């Protein structure tokens, strides 16, 4: 694994997650009506841009099925976003926008980390390109769990590169079949 690629990809993921959080906060704070998921369209655009940027870091911009794979991972996190929308109805000043911003940041960073793990696995031929089109719900759950571990390690230790390397190793240890 190239530490420089992982570092660059993590920097991009953090940047896009920050932009997503700011967008979510702004839309929730300045749109006077409590419209659930009012930030869905801009968040989708930001995630798509992040996905393309991360793929570019790994030279995988033309990877077939990347958009659908990204949408599946985002969809798998939809319950968390919905819960933040419910919390947004709490009548405390800025509770809704703040909760939405934190949730958006975390979800977008999780998606970015999942993509980095997948790109690392592809680069080292641990999975084949068509794997992303046939990913199972179990594998999505494992990947999102690993993304959570990576985020926790980044918060505690600050070394995202080592956390990604560990996550890639853990995913390979799950006996994931190599799709031909």
**Tens of pLDDT along the chain (180 residues)?**
578 999 999 999 999 999 988 888 888 777 766 666 667 778 888 989 999 999 999 999 889 989 888 888 887 766 555 555 555 555 555 556 777 788 888 888 999 999 999 999 999 988 988 888 888 888 888 898 999 999 999 989 888 999 999 999 999 888 655 544
Is 33 within the bounds of a domain?
yes
Q: How many domains does the chain have?
A: 1
pTM: 0.85
Boundaries of domain holding 82 = 3-173
Is 8 within the bounds of a domain?
yes
Is 15 within the bounds of a domain?
yes
Closest CA to 116 of 43, 64, 168, 171: 168
Is 178 within the bounds of a domain?
no
Is 58 within the bounds of a domain?
yes
In contact, 54 and 12? CB cutoff 8 Å: yes
Is 21 within the bounds of a domain?
yes
């Amino acid at each position: 694994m190239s530490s420089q690629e992982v570092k660059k990809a993590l920097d991009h993921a953090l940047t896009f997650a920050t932009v997503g959080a700011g967008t979510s906060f702004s839309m929730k704070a300045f749109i006077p009506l409590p419209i659930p998921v009012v930030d869905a369209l801009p968040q989708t655009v930001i995630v798509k841009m992040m996905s393309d940027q991360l793929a570019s870091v790994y030279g995988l911009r033309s990877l077939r099925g990347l958009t659908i794979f990204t949408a599946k991972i985002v969809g798998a996190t939809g319950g968390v976003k919905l819960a933040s929308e419910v919390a947004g109805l709490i009548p405390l000043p800025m509770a809704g926008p703040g909760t939405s911003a934190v949730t958006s940041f975390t979800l977008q960073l999780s998606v970015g980390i999942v993509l980095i793990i997948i790109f690392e696995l592809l680069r080292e031929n641990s999975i084949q390109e068509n794997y992303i089109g046939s990913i199972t719900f179990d594998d999505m759950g494992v990947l999102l769990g690993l993304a959570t571990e990576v985020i926790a390690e980044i918060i505690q230790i600050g070394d995202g590169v080592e956390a990604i390397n560990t996550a890639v190793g853990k995913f390979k240890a799950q006996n994931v079949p190599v799709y031909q």
